[in-house]
Structure 1
Amino acid sequence: MSAHPLRLLFASAEALPFSKTGGLADVASALPQSLAARGVDVRLLTLAYRDTLEKLQDRRQIARLSVRGQDMSLWEGTVRGAGATALRVWLLDYAPLYARPGRPYTNEQGHEHADNAWRFGCFSEAIAMLALGAVPDTAAWMPQVVHLNDWHTGLAAMHLRRAGKQDSPAVVFTIHNLAYQGVFSRGEFDALGLPPDEWNMQALEFYGGFSFMKAGLLYSDAIATVSPTYAREIQTPAFGERLEGVLRMRAAMLHGITNGIDTKVWDPATDPYLVTRYTADTAVDGRRANKLALQRAVGLRESAEAPLFAFIGRLAEQKGADLLPGLDAQLERNGAQLFVLASGDPVLESTLAKWSARAAGRIAVHLGYDEGLSHRVESAADFLLMPSRFEPCGLNQMYSQRYGTIPVVRRTGGLADTVVDNGTGTDHQAIATGIFFNDADAGGIAYGVDRALSLMRDSARFRQVQQAGMATDFAWGLAAGEYLDLYAQAQRER
């Protein structure tokens, strides 16, 4: 460890174990912990949503700060993952904005909070205040690097750049999903007191509104996204979400760093959620026991031989969830089963619930998020379906491989970077860990399922692909090292 470790403020609107809507929460927990284990002096800054403070160990209030006339509290505590290193956490607490019923970005009916521009604009301003030493109670610790994550934090990059302080920290901005950009109106721009000269197309203005994401892209010293393939894709009109021009302009600062996973939390040999724990050597018997237990628990017909597919994630067009019901006849014809653990689009939720009711015993659906159940699914399913129309990185395909579930994925983004297709050729087959299909449509996913069923009929080959996946190293070590290099580059740029 260096005598003077790097001081890093890592800001994210969600982070486990405090909040989660998607993979950002996993990354915002595991990456800072991996960096802390390497000697970085990290503060994870996130928001105190409803029931969040109770999850913070050894908490104490360390500061109060006024943001846009609102008196907010800052709490400090620790969280310890499966590893030995405790992570220091700062929670920004202002109940009227953040501790509401519902989820971090939506109300109980699933609609976005009408004042999300204000909620996350204030969060961004608070990030900048803490980073610049403008809060007296925390000014003794000032970061050298601020790592911002996704649109919710994008305006902080603008505030830090416009502060014009010679000793202001370098800023790294990570795009976890370019499709969510935080685009709001001129009225909301004015309400946040943003500088009028930022309202132009070379700055924050974006097709008649303004964009938090664009602020992060324009004003950061380095930009990362969560896989090399996605970094290339988002510079094209097909994936750039109307920001491809900005990304091409900043291409020299754009880096694709594939996410890792927390291999201590996701370890079938020690996982407390599993009915039967197992290693690569005992996977056949262990996974059989978990499969039968899952089938029994969720109402599927108990059969170790029936091919069991799973889908875990958001019910959204991006994830290709709308393609699942089209598999009904193919699955029935082959005696295959499907378990869906997901939530999202209300129409899709209703469609899937009706499908499972009609096809009881072979289709089962659990609507909602359940961390323990997601672990049990990864230990039990034969195949994980990920028919994403685009996928910045994806984590479930890495969890699956570690647990011996074979991912069946569309060849895009991080899926293309983390799965090796079971193609032809001896050398390629020796390292294959999953199955690709190319088209995000009914024919594409049906082709992927057909390839999976063919693989399962070849038990020796199925076992070989399963073992290759379980042997793949998805730990955060490599990505953490790449981020340390990026922090150093950002400091040089600054």
Structure 2
Amino acid sequence: MMNILFVAAEAAPFAKVGGLGDVVGALPWALKTAHPEWDIRLVLPLHPTVDVGRWGAQPLTAFTIAHRNGPITAEIYHTEHRGLEVYFVTGGPVLAVPGVYSPDPRADAVKYAFFSLATLALARYLNWQPDILHAHDWHTALAVHALVARRPYDAFFAATRTVLTVHNLPYMGAASPWLLEAFGLPPAPLESGLPPWAQTMPLPLGLAAADAITTVSPTYAREMLTPAFGRGLEDFLKTRRERLWGILNGLDTDLWNPSTDPALDVRYTASTLALRERNAEALRQEVGLPQPEGRMPLVGLVSRLTEQKGVDVVAEALRLLADSPWQAVLLGTGEPQWEDALRQLEVGFPDRVRAVLRYDDGLARRIYASADVLMVPSRYEPCGLAQMIAMRYGAVPVATETGGLADTVRDVDLSRRSTGFLLPEATPKALAFALRRAFARWADRRRWQALQRRGMAEDFSWDKPAQAYARLYARLLAPAPDP
């Protein structure tokens, strides 16, 4: 029996902006499936975008959180979803932000500090002592910092162990000495080892306090210890190396299943791969690409349009391949300069490129189910889900050898169990070269289908990650060995 408290900014299906919502929307339920005797609970902010009526959430209680300018009331709603207790926290700082996140760093800082402290107060109200507090990213790192700071003189949390999962290290929260003072939180202890600039930032404070730090792939865990990826925390993280675990994210294989996906024109399995060609024909028609005469490789991109994701690399690489036959469907939204880059690419290749600049889950699924190749040329990628979904749907990933991409894609030149093509760095020349390699393999239908089937056979379910987290929890709670 174990009491596990998950606390995060987002979790599907209640609120989801990115990959964090996918993970927190899957891991607690995967653990509950594997360990039905465990008491696993989830706490989320009641963002104004969350419809409490849809989820049957009812008012539970209200209490106050201490603040320099006077106590702030936290209202708690409760529901049960798929066998888990789910709590929502609202109050002035939550209501002040219209969505999950605010463009104003100060508003976000206040919202998530209030939410983090309300989570601890909720556990106390319930008289439910968590064995494990599992927080995610900077938004809830102050829950870890506050709990550990109080642990020496607070019997309620004396036995609680803390896990902080880093989904994307560069997002640390704003430096906020005023915030700590306002909520009565201590700064980083002198012995923390944090660099001075990080001593009032939420994520570093949580990292310094956590009993265990996890991140979302083994390779990213190693990369965080290097200057290229550590964002100035690499030396500090090296002092926490024994507490750092890299656990690869999973994929909801029921949600992402080409044999049952209602968004597809034609559903298929690994044994009926030829049906994908009908999906490709329908996709070309949907986005207005001309149907080619004979076979032509279809390249896909499903991504946030940011520098991290290598959108500029995609645009330049496809220009370098102007002499090769291909068509591309590119889907995403993001920073204006990268949206413009894809618009200009479509202007330059009107019969070969369609840039769809919106969020469209159904179209994303149809791209996965139609594309021969899916590009994932990220400059860094803590884990990444696109390459896993692509393989699940029979699209072969062409991805940078970094983070979770390196842990999930095996290059055709390096493994007999290959599942895709890796590029050593996110540059236009490297991506263009990898795409040429992919096109050459695609020309051999038999070998290409073997590559697709190997990808579709990969086990990206949450079973293995859940087992790894369960082992970590057990290790944290094991009695200390006798001296």
So what's the TM-score if we normalise by structure 1? 0.89
Q: Which residue of 1 aligns with 2:74?
A: 72
Q: Distance in 2 between matches of 1:313 and 1:94?
A: 33
1:35 maps onto 2:31 in alignment: yes
1:159 maps onto 2:146 in alignment: yes
The one of 449, 454, 457 equivalent to 1:468 is 454
- The amino acid that maps onto 1:127 is T
Q: Which residue of 2 aligns with 1:484?
A: 470
* Paired residue secondary structure (2:15): coil
With 260-269 and 199-208 compared, the bigger mean Cα shift is at: 199-208
The one of 4, 8, 12 equivalent to 1:8 is 4
The number of residues matched between the two structures is 469
Q: Distance in 2 between matches of 1:452 and 1:65?
A: 59
Q: CA deviation at 1:309?
A: 1.3
The one of 234, 244, 268 equivalent to 2:258 is 268
Q: Deviations over 1:126-151 (max 9, x none)?
A: 222234x1x3xx22x33211111111
The one of 50, 53, 56 equivalent to 1:52 is 50
The one of 219, 228, 246 equivalent to 2:218 is 228
Any conservation in 1 of the 2:214–2:245 contact (CA below 8 Å)? yes
Q: Distance in 1 between matches of 2:162 and 2:111?
A: 21
Q: Distance in 2 between matches of 1:19 and 1:95?
A: 19
Q: In structure 2, do the counterparts of structure 1 residues 159 and 485 end up closer, same or farther at CA, with 3 Å as the change threshold? A: same
Q: CA deviation at 1:182?
A: 0.9
Residue correspondence of structure 1 range 3-402 to structure 2 within 5 A: 5-38=1-34, 39=36, 40-54=38-52, 56-67=54-65, 68=67, 69-79=71-81, 85-94=82-91, 97-98=94-95, 100-101=97-98, 103-106=99-102, 111-131=103-123, 133=124, 135=125, 138-139=126-127, 141-164=128-151, 165-168=154-157, 169-195=160-186, 197-198=187-188, 202=192, 206-207=196-197, 210-285=200-275, 287-303=276-292, 305-402=295-392
Any conservation in 1 of the 2:283–2:366 contact (CA below 8 Å)? yes
Q: Deviations over 1:15-37 (max 9, x none)?
A: 11122222111101111111111
* Paired residue secondary structure (2:333): strand
Q: In structure 2, do the counterparts of structure 1 residues 188 and 95 end up closer, same or farther at CA, with 3 Å as the change threshold? A: closer
Any conservation in 2 of the 1:118–1:192 contact (CA below 8 Å)? no
With 250-259 and 344-353 compared, the bigger mean Cα shift is at: 344-353
With 200-209 and 23-32 compared, the bigger mean Cα shift is at: 200-209
Q: In structure 2, do the counterparts of structure 1 residues 75 and 342 end up closer, same or farther at CA, with 3 Å as the change threshold? A: same
- The amino acid that maps onto 1:291 is A
- The amino acid that maps onto 1:73 is E
* Paired residue secondary structure (2:192): coil
Residue correspondence of structure 1 range 440-459 to structure 2 within 5 A: 440-459=426-445
Q: Distance in 2 between matches of 1:122 and 1:336?
A: 51
Q: Deviations over 1:310-338 (max 9, x none)?
A: 11122122211221210233443222122
Q: Deviations over 1:344-388 (max 9, x none)?
A: 212112222233244333211222322222222111111111111
* Paired residue secondary structure (1:283): helix
Any conservation in 2 of the 1:217–1:246 contact (CA below 8 Å)? no
Q: CA deviation at 1:205?
A: 6.6
* Paired residue secondary structure (2:374): strand
- The amino acid that maps onto 2:117 is E
* Paired residue secondary structure (1:344): coil
Q: Deviations over 1:238-276 (max 9, x none)?
A: 111111122111111111111110111011111111111
Q: In structure 2, do the counterparts of structure 1 residues 126 and 201 end up closer, same or farther at CA, with 3 Å as the change threshold? A: same
So what's the TM-score if we normalise by structure 2? 0.91
Q: In structure 2, do the counterparts of structure 1 residues 208 and 219 end up closer, same or farther at CA, with 3 Å as the change threshold? A: closer
Q: CA deviation at 1:184?
A: 1.8
Q: In structure 2, do the counterparts of structure 1 residues 311 and 192 end up closer, same or farther at CA, with 3 Å as the change threshold? A: farther
Q: Deviations over 1:158-216 (max 9, x none)?
A: 11012223441211111111111113243344334322x53768377741762111122
Q: Distance in 2 between matches of 1:256 and 1:321?
A: 27
* Paired residue secondary structure (1:173): strand
* Paired residue secondary structure (1:184): coil
- The amino acid that maps onto 1:307 is P
Any conservation in 2 of the 1:384–1:397 contact (CA below 8 Å)? yes
| Unaligned stretches of 5+ residues in structure 1 | 80-84
Q: In structure 2, do the counterparts of structure 1 residues 449 and 483 end up closer, same or farther at CA, with 3 Å as the change threshold? A: same
* Paired residue secondary structure (2:28): helix
Q: Distance in 2 between matches of 1:12 and 1:378?
A: 29
* Paired residue secondary structure (1:409): strand
Q: In structure 2, do the counterparts of structure 1 residues 98 and 349 end up closer, same or farther at CA, with 3 Å as the change threshold? A: farther
Q: Which residue of 2 aligns with 1:82?
A: none
Report sequence identity in percent. 37
Any conservation in 1 of the 2:46–2:94 contact (CA below 8 Å)? no
Q: In structure 2, do the counterparts of structure 1 residues 159 and 117 end up closer, same or farther at CA, with 3 Å as the change threshold? A: same
With 260-269 and 161-170 compared, the bigger mean Cα shift is at: 161-170
Q: CA deviation at 1:438?
A: 0.2
Any conservation in 2 of the 1:205–1:211 contact (CA below 8 Å)? no
